[in-house]
Chain A
Amino acid sequence: ETGVTQSPTHLIKTRGQQVTLRCSSQSGHNTVSWYQQALGQGPQFIFQYYREEENGRGNFPPRFSGLQFPNYSSELNVNALELDDSALYLCASSFRQDSTDTQYFGPGTRLTVL
């Protein structure tokens, strides 16, 4: 186990609703990244937070937003859910925002949008 926890484990929502996913980073880690992984695909980078500031964003619309708290835990919010948002959402934490630093992934939240 990596020490990165995510909640909830599974979630079912309907189209148009809003959802908040949570991630607790590993102790001592100040960087959290969020990824979306559709079935049979690799993780797609959504955004990264470093010391409570957004530090890079992938090709996702503004209805995907995030937050990082002083204890470095993080939230991913998705508004106006669409069917294509159904996926496994992964967060990964690292000690610093360096390309050589190991990312530790949580187990993910499985979101189903009906």
Chain B
Amino acid sequence: SQKIEQNSEALNIQEGKTATLTCNYTNYSPAYLQWYRQDPGRGPVFLLLIRENEKEKRKERLKVTFDTTLKQSLFHITASQPADSATYLCALDMSSPGNQFYFGTGTSLTVIP
């Protein structure tokens, strides 16, 4: 069965530094991978989508890489700010009808001022 692993430990970094979050998966070859942000008590918010034929995608201070050989995606937040503190989820498409996704367990990020 599909297994998606994200940094199991919470990540604490100093403001201004780059946060790097990891998403590893097994037993599957997704065509797409998405990253979401989730704040406590709220639903996830879509951040970025990367396709299997794309190595890297950027959006403002965010960067995502997708290595289908390693079965890994890295999510970077540069010049981190306390407002970036949240849980970040990666999600893989199931290649079933529609946009159905397997989600990882998420990584909690805290940016310390």
Contact = CB atoms under 8 A, between A and B. Distances in A.
Interface of A: 2, 4, 31, 33, 35, 40-45, 48, 50, 55-56, 58, 90, 92, 94, 97-108
Contact of A97 (B45, B46, B91, B97): B97
A103 B99 contact: yes
Interface residues of B, number: 27
The 4 closest A-B pairs by CB, nearest first: A105-B43, A42-B103, A97-B98, A99-B93
Interface in B50-96: 51, 89, 91, 93-96
Contact of A101 (B44, B94, B99): B99
Contacts of A94: 99
Nearest to B32: A99
B31 interface: yes
Interface of B: 4, 31-32, 41-46, 49, 51, 89, 91, 93-106
A36 to B, nearest CB: 11
25 contacts: A31-B98, A33-B100, A42-B103, A42-B105, A43-B89, A43-B103, A45-B94, A48-B99, A48-B100, A50-B97, A50-B98, A56-B100, A58-B100, A97-B97, A98-B98, A99-B93, A100-B49, A102-B49, A103-B46, A104-B46, A105-B44, A106-B43, A107-B41, A107-B43, A108-B41
A83 to B, nearest CB: 21
Contact of A42 (B49, B89, B100): B89
A108 B43 contact: yes
B99 A33 contact: yes
A56 B103 CA distance: 16
Contacts of A56: 94, 96-98, 100
